[in-house]
Amino acid sequence: MKRYTNFEEIDRDLKYLRLKSQIDLEEVKLGFAKSKESAIESFSPMNLIASTVSSVIKKAFVLKLVDKLIGIKTVKTR
């Protein structure tokens, strides 16, 4: 524990701690604002459509590749 010899040292440390607390609070606010922006952007209609189309294309490509590698043939019934 730190020992203080006068009130000026105490006041200086208290001022430092208040400023550090304010900086930490502003960093939390900034981080929250950034995460809120990224969440809004990721759930925009265009991003949802683009990710859906991309996912469908990737799955179709993988299925076609697996079909070629394994050689599964579909059987037609009469």
Answer whether residue 66 is part of any domain.
Answer: yes
Which tokens hold the place of 3? 């020992």
Answer whether residue 24 is part of any domain.
Answer: yes
Answer whether residue 34 is part of any domain.
Answer: yes
Using pLDDT thresholds of 50, 70 and 90, give the confidence band for residue 76: low
Supply the DSSP symbol for 43.
Answer: T
How much is the average pLDDT of 34-51? 82
Q: Count structural domains, the chain.
A: 1
Lowest mean pLDDT among 32-36, 60-64, 73-77: 73-77
DSSP string, the chain: ----SSHHHHHHHHHHHHHHHHHHHHHHHHHHHHHHHHHHHHTSHHHHHHHHHHHHHHHHHHHHHHHHHH---PPPP-
How much is the average pLDDT of 56-67? 86
Model's pTM, two decimal places? Answer: 0.50
* Domain interval for residue 24: 7-70
How much is the average pLDDT of 35-58? 84
Contacts of residue 2, defined as CB under 8 A and 6 or more positions apart, other chains included, come to: 13
